[in-house]
Structure formats: C-alpha cells, structure tokens
Amino acid sequence: MAEQAMFTGGGEFQRELKRRVAAELTPERVRRGKWEISLKGVILVTWAVGSYLALLLLSHGWKTALPLAISLGLAVAGVAFSIGHDANHGSLSRNKRVNRVLGWTYDLIGASSYVWRTKHNHAHHSYTNVVGADNDIDQMPLARFAPEQPRRWFHRWQHVYMWAMYGLYSIKHHLAGDVRGVTGGSFGEGSPLRRPRGSELAVFLTGKVAFFTWALLLPMLLHTWWHVLLFFGLASWVLGFTLATVFQLAHCVDEAQFSSVDELRSGEPKNWAVHQVETTVDFATGNRLLSWYLGGLNFQVEHHLFPKVCHVHYPRLLQVVRETCAEFGVSHSTHPSVHAALASHARWLRRMGRPEPVIA
Ligand SMILES: [Zn+2]
C-alpha cells in the first residue's frame, strides 16, 4: 500500500503524545465536552435555519437580503466546521451511526459526505501537503500551492485572483466536484473512490435533491428567479470563501513543509506524526470566539494528530502537544493572529507564483 511506503506509524513521539492526551481526556472532561458540543450544535443550527427562514419569508429588497445572505453563508460554514467536519471524522459521538447521520449535514448543505470522507479523511489527512496524493493542494493549473508543482506564467498574479476563486469552492463542491468524485474514481495516489452503492448512493442523490430544493427551488416559488440566483450566489461565495480560507491558513503558509509522492518514495519512510506537525500550522489559538466558530480548525496540528477527538478539547491538547514536540525536537508552529496567518498565506501564494531563481 502506498501509505506504508511513504510513512511509518507509531514511534516514541506518537506513543508519548497518545499517552499524555489520553491522560488529559478524563471521563469528567469528556462528559462536559458532550454538553458543550450539543449546545453549540443547537446554536449553530438555529443561526443557520433562522437566517434561511428570514431570507425566505421576511426579506423584501436588497437592504435586508444582503446581510441575511451573508449571515446564512457564515452560519452554514459554522455548521460545516463544527458539526459536519467532526461527524465525518467520527469524533462527535462514540456511536458510529450517530456520527454517520450527523455527517449527512454535509449532504444537506450541498457537499457529499461520501466523497468528503475519501477526499478529506483519507487523501488529505493521510498525505498532508504531499503533491500527487493530497487533493487539497491540487488546484492546478489554476493555482500553484507547492514547490513541486509546475509554474505557469499566470501564477504570478495568484496572490491576487485566488482570494476571489476561494469563494467558488462550495459551488464547485455542489456541482462538478462531487459528481466528478463519484464518477472519476480517485483523489490522488493511494485514495481510490469507488462508486457509491445502495444506501450510500441514496444519501448522495437525496442530499443533492434536498439541497437544491431548499436553496433554489423553494425560494423561486416565492421570489423572482434572478433575485434568488443572485443571493444564492452571494451566500455560496461567503460560505466557500470562509471554508477555503480557513483550510488554506493551516497548510499553505510559509512555515509548512511540502513534499511529493516521488520524493517520499525515494527515501526512508517518514514518521507519520512528525510529518503531520511539520506540514500544519495553528493560528489565533488564544482567540476564544474565533476558536468556537471555527470548530477548532485553527488548532489544525492537534486536529491532524487526533482527528478522532472532538474539537472542543483541542485548546486543552495544545499545551500537551507543544511540550511533547519541544521535547522530541519536532517544530510546532503557530501564527499568533488571523492577520498573521492571512499575511503568511498571501506571502506563500506570491512566492509560489514567482519564477524560480536561476542558480548558476
Ligand atoms: Zn479534518
């Protein structure tokens, strides 16, 4: 299997991390975490459903529709960060079925949970920042995110145009991305996707029908069709921009390392846990409101090491992970603020877009 050739699991570093994290997650803290995530789920779903109903039934004119569409986009992103992402990792509940059902929130908001589990849980989490295996960094030819990717002349301006493109991330998922995913069969080296069958296919199709019904069809029964398209586009753009930017700030920044399938295969297998820390960067971990909204995705190092732990525990894991990294000589990076992380991502885009210096 490709994974075994590139990485080794276990090792003293990972064993020590697991031991210390297990000691942190006492039954009492896990119980409190369950209450915390349940309350959070209720708040986020109320925000999303409230924004949608207000946009559908109460808005007349752009002055009310504009803020409501933005609010809907942000609320749906919050649901995706805190509920869909955790549930599809299997970290919301000990019960597999509960996670699977809550994972369908992705299908309800337009992105197939079936495709996501292969694309994100396997391709991205197993092979983070590995060109040829991590689908998240493969946006060629539109953008060059890694030194191992070929540079095109227009990448010179990618630090300008990619911000607008991030807004199209969710629309791409709703349509072409998911359909290509289930028919195309692969998300890169080591991540084949078999066509969904039986209940998986039923969830995929029901999700698409449900999404387009609430997002487009129902509003078109009450409002002018082009108004609906306009505000659907705006809410989708806000959603896509928020999701894509948050994921980019964790891996496409100048402190993160990149490699390729060929490079990893040509040398000694790398320790998987060390690779996760070196390819991922935390940001704004002291900002409690932002951490709440982002579903712990600003604690990406901790998430990549412990994807099966619910995100409400990540602030507690941070200190443990930092100390263990320091003891084992593994470099753990954090940007102190969102601004610092955004600036680092912009610098990285610019650097990847520049022509390579000619070394004589
Ligand atoms: Zn994840």
pLDDT digit string (tens) for 56-88? 999 888 889 999 999 999 999 999 999 999 999
Taking the CA atoms of 345, 247, 77 and 218 in sequence, report the sign of the dihedral they define: positive
Residues in the chain: 360
**Cα 306 to ligand 1 centre (Å):** 9
**pLDDT tens for each residue of 323-355:** 999 999 999 999 999 999 999 999 999 999 998
Query: Domain extents for the chain?
Result: 3-353
> Could you tell me if 48 and 76 are in contact, meaning their C-beta atoms sit under 8 angstroms apart?
yes
Q: Which of 41, 64, 42, 62 is nearest to 53 (CA)?
A: 64
**Cα 307 to ligand 1 centre (Å):** 6
DSSP structure string for 111-143: S-HHHHIIIIIIIIHHSTTEETT-GGG--TTT-
What is the mean predicted confidence (pLDDT) over 202-211? 93
Q: Can you give the pTM of this predicted structure?
A: 0.90
Residue 358: pLDDT band (50, 70, 90) is low
**Cα 241 to ligand 1 centre (Å):** 17
**Cα 220 to ligand 1 centre (Å):** 35
CB atoms within 10 A of CB 243: 23
**Cα 72 to ligand 1 centre (Å):** 23
pLDDT of residue 2: 45
> Could you tell me if 127 and 134 are in contact, meaning their C-beta atoms sit under 8 angstroms apart?
yes
**Cα 87 to ligand 1 centre (Å):** 10
Map 245-270 to HEC letters: HHHHHHHCCCCCCCEEHHHHHHCCCE
**Cα 332 to ligand 1 centre (Å):** 18
Q: Which of 264, 269, 247 is nearest to 130 (CA)?
A: 264
**Cα 61 to ligand 1 centre (Å):** 38
**Cα 246 to ligand 1 centre (Å):** 12
**Cα 297 to ligand 1 centre (Å):** 8
**Cα 349 to ligand 1 centre (Å):** 22
Residue 118 token pair: 């292969």
**Cα 243 to ligand 1 centre (Å):** 12
**Cα 117 to ligand 1 centre (Å):** 9
